[in-house]
């Protein structure tokens, strides 16, 4: 069997929302059992499920691309990294030690990385979009935040989060305050602004961005994004498609390219 390229995004490890989402397949299998939501799908269960996905992918993977927001919050201090995630980080280190490439794209929830993921886990970190050729097909890869969204408020907020100048005073605050604030912000923002459904081909920011890119780079065969928490596979032209990978809050979805075909899959469906 030929080597495959795997794509995954928006796991949001550490998010309180994992405690609010029941594994739908587990409910179907046990229809008469009443379960507390916070007990059914806690954070560690999502982390273990991600480790099982990584074990599955490593069997025939040439490379694994993690397209952002793998963590709901990640901030590296000079000598301290966030607590938790040891199962996933250890699994990724095991995979990279075996010679399989793992690429990590920063998302809007895990932008503040320095060198820990590279040195300790062996990942290649990407701070922006990347164009890669796989088996003669050209891929445009990115998390997706900030692409095609021209709103002033979003641009202002994004500039603050990406500012190295803002990072310095933030790092001086004790983690007990910054971590708590970041978790509150993430949960509040997701509750107040639920990810909307697909806007349609003429309004979806990432679709419009991809179409604009094709005007100057018509040889792009696949645009692969995360960020929007929707599963989308749309033909843009006779030779170009846009794929939005879904998430690991509701879908547990991922993409795989086998050298000829790209498919969206559900893990442990």
Whether this model's pTM surpasses 0.75:
yes
Instruction: Judge whether 245 and 105 are in contact, CB under 8 Å.
Output: no
The pLDDT tens digits for 113-126 are: 888 999 999 999 99
The pLDDT tens digits for 175-190 are: 777 766 666 666 656 5
Secondary element (H or E) of residue 192: helix 175-192
Cα–Cα distance, 78 to 56 (Å, whole number): 34
Is the predicted pLDDT of residue 217 greater than 60, yes or no? yes
Q: How confident is the model at residue 158 (pLDDT cuts 50, 70, 90)?
A: low
Cα–Cα distance, 127 to 99 (Å, whole number): 22
The pLDDT tens digits for 12-69 are: 998 877 755 434 333 333 333 343 433 444 556 899 999 999 999 999 999 999 999 9
| CA distances, 176 to each of 124, 171, 180 (Å) | 29, 12, 6
pLDDT score at 161: 63
Sequence-distant (6+) residues with CB within 8 A of 204 are 198, 228, 232
C-alpha closest to that of 91 among 102, 82, 77: 102
Cα–Cα distance, 210 to 213 (Å, whole number): 5
């Amino acid at each position: 069997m030929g080597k495959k390229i795997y794509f995954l995004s928006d796991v949001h490890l550490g998010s309180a929302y994992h405690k609010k989402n029941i594994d739908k397949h587990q409910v179907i299998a046990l229809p008469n059992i009443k379960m507390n939501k916070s007990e059914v799908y806690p954070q560690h269960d999502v982390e273990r499920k991600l480790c099982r996905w990584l074990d599955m992918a490593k069997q025939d993977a040439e490379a694994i691309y993690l397209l952002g927001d793998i963590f709901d919050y990640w901030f590296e201090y000079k000598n301290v990294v966030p607590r938790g995630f040891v199962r996933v980080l250890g699994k990724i280190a095991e995979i990279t030690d075996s010679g399989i490439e793992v690429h990590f794209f920063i998302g809007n929830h895990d932008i503040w990385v320095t060198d820990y993921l590279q040195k300790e886990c062996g990942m290649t970190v990407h701070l922006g979009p990347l164009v890669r050729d796989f088996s003669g097909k050209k891929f445009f890869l990115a998390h997706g935040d900030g692409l095609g969204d021209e709103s002033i408020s979003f641009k202002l907020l994004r500039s603050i989060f990406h500012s190295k100048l803002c990072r310095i005073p933030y790092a001086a605050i004790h983690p007990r305050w910054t971590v708590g604030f970041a978790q509150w912000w993430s949960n509040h923002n997701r509750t107040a602004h639920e990810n909307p459904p697909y806007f349609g081909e003429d309004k979806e920011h990432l679709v419009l961005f991809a179409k604009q890119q094709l005007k100057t780079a018509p040889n792009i065969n696949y645009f692969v994004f995360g960020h929007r928490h929707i599963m989308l596979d749309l033909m843009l032209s006779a030779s170009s498609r846009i794929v939005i990978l879904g998430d690991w809050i509701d879908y547990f979805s991922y993409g795989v390219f086998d050298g000829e075909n790209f498919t969206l899959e559900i893990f442990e469906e």
